[in-house]
Amino acid sequence: MTATEVPATGAGRAPKKTISYALPVYNEAGCLRLFHQRLVEATDARPEYDYEFVYVNDGSRDGSLEILRELASADPRIRIVDFARNYGHQIAITAGIDHATGDAVIVMDTDLQDPPAVSMELVDAWERGADVAYAQRRTRKDTPFKRFTAHAYYRLLRRLAEVDIPVDAGDFRLLDRKVADELSRYRERNRFLRGIIASMGFTQVAVPFDRDERAAGETNYSLGKMLRLAVDGVTGFSTAPLKAITRLGFVTVALSILGIVYALVLRIFFPEISVSGWTLLMISILFLGGVQMLSLGVIGSYVGRIYQEVQNRPLYIVREIVQHDARETA
Ligand code: UDP
Ligand code: MG
């Protein structure tokens, strides 16, 4: 409902806007209760909105679902979308946005690294006219390794990608309803949401914040998952690696021609020592073999993605949606 539609009963009073939260949960049993409590504290401070909390249980195996059920039975604003298995963070966020019905949707992690209080600053930015308000890290309390790789990656991506992806911003952000609706038309399997959202345009505003440490448990982003997301970011938004192969090809062809000329000169003018070209032979075989393998790998990773996308399988399967009726608990 838009603010201009006057409700039948409200005699001139604009209806409350609803803010939805899309909350991915994977093995967060140690954080969830505290997280929800903090979130409720933050949202209670702003009673001018209605709230909806969409928790997506991404195949947790540590009792997170039971904790969510318990929270949901006490708070009818909670909706649980329970996945049939683990699909990964980006898909979990997607499902959260798909199942959110509010006028704005806030995506945030459930390990308290994204402070719930900051989400209200995103709401302020939205009220000032932003369609997308993304939280940008001023500082982050992660390991030096993660800090370094993240820093380097965001800058690399910015150079390669054909869209302007803001540096130091994760998925913690607010989306206006119209952005969320547009986003739900993007159904690619290899998703890098912050890139997709950046490429959509609209009015996007940064809200600086300090990223906290995890409240409990440990990161679910293994190095492997991080690398996969990093590769999705690059391949989803850039064909630079494919172009790099062409460039690499030109360089190796040029070097090969030099090598061929050298080999011929040796063979024709110094036939008695021509066998000494063995080193060159080994080097060129190994070098060309390596370059070809690498190039095949890059092409293969695009082909693999094309294959996955043409299969067009559903992004996720929901086992169950849990929501308690407000009247039951009232
Ligand atoms: N998460 C998820 N599915 C996964 C991995 C993570 O839904 O397969 C959720 C997790 O519960 C958390 C958020 O995504 O709310 C971010 O994960 P994590 O804190 O492990 O990543 P990090 O903050 O270390 O990058
Ligand atoms: Mg985290």
Shared domain for 249 and 324, answered yes or no, is no
220, 222, 315, best to mutate for ligand 1 pocket (most atoms within 8 Å of CB):
220
**For residue 182, what are its two tokens?**
């547009």
Secondary structure (DSSP) of 49-64? EEEEEEEEE-S-SSSH
Q: Measured between alpha carbons, how far is 90 from 194 in angstroms, rounded to an integer?
A: 10
In a domain, 22, yes or no: yes
For the Cβ of 219 lying below 6 angstroms from any atom of ligand 1, the answer is: yes
Shared domain for 39 and 138, answered yes or no, is yes
Instruction: For residue 119, give the H/E element and its range.
Output: helix 116-127
For the Cβ of 31 lying below 6 angstroms from any atom of ligand 1, the answer is: no
Shared domain for 112 and 198, answered yes or no, is yes
Per DSSP (E only), the strands in the chain are 17-25, 49-57, 78-83, 104-107, 132-140, 169-176, 204-211, 318-323
In a domain, 231, yes or no: no
* CA-proximal residue: ligand 1, atom 17 (nearest): 220
In a domain, 68, yes or no: yes
Shared domain for 269 and 192, answered yes or no, is no
Shared domain for 144 and 207, answered yes or no, is yes
How many angstroms separate the Cα of 300 from the Cα of each of 2, 191, 289?
47, 18, 16
Shared domain for 205 and 144, answered yes or no, is yes
* pLDDT on residue 10: 46
Of ligand 1's listed atoms, the one at least distance from the Cα of 110 is: 15
In a domain, 227, yes or no: no
For the Cβ of 149 lying below 6 angstroms from any atom of ligand 1, the answer is: no
Instruction: For residue 72, give the H/E element and its range.
Output: helix 64-74
In a domain, 16, yes or no: yes
* CA-proximal residue: ligand 1, atom 8 (nearest): 88
For the Cβ of 126 lying below 6 angstroms from any atom of ligand 1, the answer is: no
Tokens 């900051």 found at? 118
Shared domain for 42 and 160, answered yes or no, is yes
Shared domain for 250 and 322, answered yes or no, is no
Dihedral over Cα of 95, 99, 103, 107: its sign: negative
Shared domain for 62 and 122, answered yes or no, is yes
Domain assignment of residue 304, given as a range:
240-311
Please state the φ and ψ torsions of residue 205, each to the nearest 5 degrees.
Answer: -130, 140
In a domain, 192, yes or no: yes
User: What's the domain count of the chain?
Assistant: 2
CA of 108 to the centre of ligand 1 (A): 10
* CA-proximal residue: ligand 1, atom 13 (nearest): 109
32, 60, 108, 109, best to mutate for ligand 1 pocket (most atoms within 8 Å of CB):
109
In a domain, 209, yes or no: yes
Contact 65, 128 (CB under 8 A): no
Contact 78, 325 (CB under 8 A): no
In a domain, 182, yes or no: yes
Shared domain for 91 and 194, answered yes or no, is yes
Q: Measured between alpha carbons, how far is 160 from 70 in angstroms, rounded to an integer?
A: 46
For the Cβ of 110 lying below 6 angstroms from any atom of ligand 1, the answer is: yes
For the Cβ of 64 lying below 6 angstroms from any atom of ligand 1, the answer is: no
Q: What CATH number corresponds to the domain at position 116?
A: 3.90.550.10
Shared domain for 98 and 182, answered yes or no, is yes
pLDDT per 10-residue tile (average), the chain, 330 residues: 46 80 94 93 92 95 93 93 94 95 94 89 93 86 78 79 79 94 90 88 88 72 79 76 78 80 81 70 78 80 83 90 72
Listed in sequence order, the residues at least 6 apart from 30 whose beta carbon sits closer than 8 Å to its beta carbon are 215, 216, 217
